[in-house]
Structure 1
Amino acid sequence: MMVEPNSCRFCRVSAENGFDIVYEDALFLGFTDRNPASAHHFQVIPKAHIASVRSLNPASHVGLVQAMEAVGRRILDNFGVPESMRKMGFHIPPMNSVYHLHLHVQGLPYHSTTRALKYPVVRGFGHFSKGPSWFVEVHQAMRILEHGGHIGLLPC
């Protein structure tokens, strides 16, 4: 499912539209998740419309993912979340609800085991950076892109 930027709700993120903005610069926005799964749960998005993590180009988007992670770290620093209680990653389509690239930035613990199941980190094996799952941790995504791969549900 592809969504045009003019109908994308994340392309219209603003305080005026009911979002709790916790970070903004020229390229990115960070805001509180409307249905938080954890003690601290934010979304970091690029202001430019990119449909999803599957749309990322290995040749040109490694820096974008690195910058999104840096924003996520800054947000979690501001909320005093220790390194050991942090999780950041992307849902992989079709397992996402919004077709605008967004990094889940979480300060644990999760509110429930059920909520935690939405964010499984499956380690890679052999030459794969991640195993079969609908969630890719930010460092897994960077490794996949750095090695010229594309991010999908299957091992990559």
Structure 2
Amino acid sequence: MIELELVGVRVELPQNQPIVLLKETTGERFLPIWIGAVEATSIAFALQGVETARPMTHDLIIDVLGALTVTVERVVVTELRDGTFYAEIIMTGPTGETVVSSRPSDAIAVAVRAGVPVFADEDVLDEASILIDDADESETEVEKFKEFLDTVTPEDFAP
């Protein structure tokens, strides 16, 4: 397993398709995962610390787990099969460790709220990651994502 850092969420034009971008913490590979608009908004809100009047679904998940004394430990992007990414949320609680299958977008939204690391299986990175050879270009892309996060609104993800 390779630890990843969440670079951000953006809308890929011209299709208006949201993507979440992850990067190896000790390497140069990036892992882009196309996600839904609702999950993109949820992740962006969590990254920006946006408080909503009522809990969003991923906030509710964290609240329910907390009420059950279950702690999210990490999430792992486990597989890429037929163009679809798969993930798991690993938790511990009164009965020990529990692993729940999840879409990566939901797992990442939960991880951001729980403040836990995101990992990917080496095979997933080998198959789906992109490499930006030029370090300056890489930094520029990361800065673009950070600028996007500073200006994103829920309307940016509207269909």
TM-score, normalisation: structure 2: 0.26
- Which of the two has greater helix per residue? 2
The structure whose Rg is larger is: 2
How high is the TM-score relative to the length of structure 1?
0.26
Q: Which structure ranks higher in relative contact order (CA pairs < 8 Å, sequence separation ≥ 6)?
A: 2
